Amino acid sequence: MEEANMKREEIEAEARLMAIEYQVCHVYNMVLKMIGVSEEDITHAEKTGVRRMDGQPIGTADPAMSDHVLGEFQDALSRLQDEARWMRQALKAQ
């Protein structure tokens, strides 16, 4: 019974995270649209921001774990940036 509840809780947590990520992408795109940033400038800023994180320690004394967490963070951030870009392209195609 406890295993089934954990699974349900994990699914609910994942669904909430997906909804939050979607809204973050939407708000990000709305802000970019409001201030009139070009797609080229967005791409440059996103790449620069991800690269700037290289080598930054992430809240742990273990350098290997810090590198792992940083890699996970960069992957997640890149995925959100890709999602936001997809949303912008989909809106332009309409």
With a CB cutoff of 8 Å and minimum separation 6, the contacts of 29 are: 84, 87, 88, 91
Give the residue from 93, 76, 19 showing the smallest Cα distance to 11.
Answer: 19
Which pTM was predicted?
Answer: 0.77
Indicate the residue type of 11. Answer: I
Asked whether the predicted pLDDT for residue 4 surpasses 70, the reply is: no
Its domain, for residue 38, covers: 2-93
pLDDT in tens, 12-69: 999 999 999 999 999 999 999 999 999 999 999 998 887 887 777 777 668 888 888 8
Number of domains in the chain: 1
Give the residue from 51, 38, 34 showing the smallest Cα distance to 85.
Answer: 38
